[in-house]
Each structure stands twice: as C-alpha cells, then as structure tokens.
C-alpha cells in the first residue's frame, strides 16, 4: 500500500487478507531493511524506518496479538506513527546489539544517553564544510526507555533536515556518527541507503 503521511486504519488489512499478502510483503520488507540497516561500530546498528516498515510492524503486531477491533489497531498506529518520517525527516530505530548477560551488564550502564549522541554529518568530502545535524529523541518512547543508571537496548530517534540539508543529503557524502563518551564510531551511508531514505520525502 502506497501513500504518504501517517498510517491510517485503511492501510491495515484484516488478518485473513494479511495472511494472503504476508509472504510477499515480508520479503519486500526484508529487502528494504537490508538496504536501510547500517552498522555504526561493533555493537550499534540503526534501521532507517519508513511508512512500509511501520505498516509491517503494525500488521505483524495485529497478527501476533490477534487484534480484530479498530480500537486495538488505532492504539498500535498511535505507537508506531511517530516513526513514519515526514518530508525531510529521518526516523531511526537504534539497536544496541548485545548477546550475553555479561555484555548487557557491562555496556548498558556505560551507554546512558547514547540516543542523544547520534548525529548526521553532511558533506565535507569535496573540500566544502561539513555540517553536523543532531538527533532528537522520539518523545512518546523516551519516557519508557530512558533511565539514569542504565540505557535500553532499543531507541527511537529522528533527524529533521531543512531544504538545503536535504539537498546535501541527496548529493552526499553523509556519515552517521555516535559521539558518546563510551562509544565513538562513524559510518558513511551507502548511496543506495541515501537514495532509499530520500525517496520517502
């Protein structure tokens, strides 16, 4: 289902209809996330979300929880629509990928505030000045995720770019960086990733 802007009830099909399209839709989303999943250093990965990835999230939640009523679906839409980017926005899910209890105990206290330490770095390779754009934390999720002594392993963040910044983003190069006292890494976004993100606008 195409369209722009937030998801609505009309975008979410009932469970029987979803079962008929699920295999093809799931393959589409896996292919999309492969392009939009970017590692930043050894333990942080981000996924640039969009309307399609969020529709998949809502449909899968409805399927898993056997949601049949409009009210149930509306509650899911309220939770996930903040991660549908508007014009010039990038919405990211940031994963701290730790596999053992020991890693969790070591890293999660060390990385408090990481969600506020993510930045986009636009341009710079052609000798022009590099511009840094800071992230904002998705407010509706922040209260559930942020603690003073330990961070969560998943965060939701966004960037808002003005018209000139959008132009620089499309032209590249663009790097995504984490500038945290306990974790400092930078990754240049591949051309295919930037193109996919820009197509959301």
Long-range CB contacts for residues 124-131, cutoff 8 Å, separation at least 24 = 124/173, 125/172, 125/173, 131/165, 131/168
pLDDT digit string (tens) for 91-138?
999 999 999 999 999 999 999 999 999 999 998 666 568 899 999 987
Q: What angle do CA 99, 48, 11 make, to 5 degrees?
A: 110
Whole-prediction pTM: 0.90
Q: What is the pLDDT of the chain when averaged over all its residues?
A: 91
Q: What is the three-class DSSP state of 193?
A: helix
What pLDDT, on a 0 to 100 scale, did the predictor assign at position 178? 97
What pLDDT, on a 0 to 100 scale, did the predictor assign at position 123? 87
Stretch (H or E) spanning 188: strand 183-188
Q: What angle do CA 97, 156, 105 make, to 5 degrees?
A: 35
């Amino acid at each position: 289902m195409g369209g722009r802007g937030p998801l609505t009830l009309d975008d979410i099909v009932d469970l029987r209809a979803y079962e008929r399209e699920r295999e093809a839709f799931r393959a589409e989303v896996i292919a999309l996330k492969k392009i939009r999943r970017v590692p930043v250093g050894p333990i942080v990965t981000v996924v640039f979300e969009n309307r399609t990835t969020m529709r998949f999230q809502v449909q899968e939640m409805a399927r898993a929880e056997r949601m049949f009523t409009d009210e149930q679906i509306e509650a899911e839409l309220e939770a996930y629509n903040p991660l549908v980017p508007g014009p010039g926005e990038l919405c990211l899910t940031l994963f701290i990928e730790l596999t053992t209890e020991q890693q969790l105990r070591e890293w999660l206290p060390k990385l408090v505030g990481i969600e506020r330490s993510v930045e986009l770095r636009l341009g710079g390779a052609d000798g022009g000045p590099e511009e840094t754009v800071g992230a904002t934390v998705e407010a509706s999720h922040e209260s559930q995720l942020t603690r003073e002594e330990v961070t969560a392993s998943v965060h939701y963040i966004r960037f808002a770019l003005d018209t000139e910044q959008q132009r620089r983003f499309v032209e590249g190069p663009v790097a995504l960086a984490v500038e945290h006292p306990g974790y400092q890494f930078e990754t240049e976004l591949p051309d295919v990733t930037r193109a996919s993100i820009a197509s959301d606008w």
